Amino acid sequence: MAHIRSALLKSGIKVITEEMPDCESASIGVWVKSGSRDERPKECGISHFIEHLLFKGTKKRTALDIAREIEGVGGVLNAFTSREYTCFYAKVLNKDAALAIDILSDIFLNSTFDPVELEKERMVVLQEIKMVDDTPDDLVHDLFALNIWKGNPLGSPVQGSEKTVGSMTRDDVLGYFRRRYHHGRVGRVFITVAGGIKDKFVVKLIDKAFGGLKNGNAPPVSPAPEPSVGVRLIKRDLEQIHLCLGVPTVSQPHADRYKLYLLNTILGGGMSSRLFQEIREKRGLAYSVYSYLNLMRDAGALTVYAGTSKGDFKNVVNLIIKEWGKLRKGVGREELSSAKEQVKGGMLLGLEASDSRMTKLARDEIYFGRVVTVGEIVKAIDAVRLSDLKEIAHKTLDKARITLVAIGKVAKGDLPAGLRAG
């Protein structure tokens, strides 16, 4: 049985641990409650840039040293930046947990941001931005966020733009890093650990390794966004039209999230979903079609993605909206029961590994300020009734609130009736 504990270090850092006695690995994550939505327009992409730079050398390790040490024990060292948080993490065998903590603390506290390495990594990030721009089935999701959260940093691309990343100076990067990750980190930086290691042992290691962090006043958080409605068409010479069609939803902490999980599963959450069956299996109009939820601390969106031909674009959009209408009328008992088992099964299977457990601890802390147990989640999913699903479908799947973004050989005349490009 797993045991979850929380400790507050002398430095003010919160450490949340989950002991998994039968697990051979340990996953350690250093989390910062700061992401792309906290950046000013000229800083767009700076959090993601910092994520890259923390692997480029410290006062005692070169970038090659960092890679060799972690890979020399078969471990993984990585990081990611989202709109609301940034994470630097390691996954190693239990016996190598001390090494992983030492490396994580070293890159977080002692990175040099060497000017030569910074310029090299700037080029890498610029290539990443170009890669996304050249991949329409990735780019369309960024453009959808930019349009539904228009005028709010929540909609800005996590990786930034060529203009913003290209103009950032070393002083800009260092200043932001110190404000957001070091001196401005009261309650903003915390650490989660999951795996087959003892709680007291790992907390002692972390307390020693991260004692150099200082208290400070946390910078203000970004304002809540107001969703926008409308259609944006981007013409490109592509074989397919890639589209994202979605609507705003409740936020991650909202009690209705469990209803949304089930609604999304039924709509487009797998091969048995309504959209997959109707658009791909029955009609062959798309190879890829699915829906997903992007729930944040004060906002959310349910989005449908599809890639289809120019001739089938209007039909696919109409079919998506038609399925929304059907869901607003309700679902059958068997379909709801199946969706519940799919959501619960996917969650339980996903939590078998130490890194997924470590991530769950962090997301619980970010969005709820407490541990949300698996038993609590299962109980809440099972409690959703047919009437609850109908209610959330009516509230969410509203044609008047649609945002649609499409990339390809698309024109205003390809839009279904009732949707007009701005």
Starting at the earlier edge strand, list the strands of the sheet with 86-93.
3-8, 14-19, 189-195, 25-32, 86-93, 76-81
Task: Pull the structure tokens for residue 221.
Answer: 């958080």
Q: What is the 3-state secondary structure (H, E, C) of the chain?
A: CCEEEEEECCCCCEEEEEECCCCCEEEEEEEECCCHHHCCHHHCCHHHHHHHHCCCCECCCCHHHHHHHHHCCCCEEEEEECCCCEEEEEEEEHHHHHHHHHHHHHHHHHECCCHHHHHHHHHHHHHHHHHHHCCHHHHHHHHHHHHHCCCCHHHCCCCCCHHHHHHCCHHHHHHHHHHHHHCCCCCCEEEEEEECCCHHHHHHHHHHHCCCCCCCCCCCCCCCCCCCCEEEEEECCCCCEEEEEEEECCCCCCCCHHHHHHHHHHHHCCCCCHHHHHHHHCCCCCCCEEEEEEECCCCEEEEEEEEECCCCHHHHHHHHHHHHHHHHCCCCHHHHHHHHHHHHHHHHHHCCCHHHHHHHHHHHHHHHCCCCCHHHHHHHHHCCCHHHHHHHHHHHCCHHHCEEEEEECCCHHHCCCCCCEC
Chain centroid to Cα 84, Å, comes to 8
Asked about 281 being catalytic, the answer comes back as no
Distance, in Å, from the CA atom of 379 to the CA atom of 254, rounded to the nearest integer, reads: 16
Find the catalytic residue in 18, 19, 39, 51. 51
Q: Within 10 Å of residue 252's Cβ, how many Cβ atoms?
A: 20
Terminal-residue alpha carbon distance, the chain: 55
Catalytic machinery residues: 51
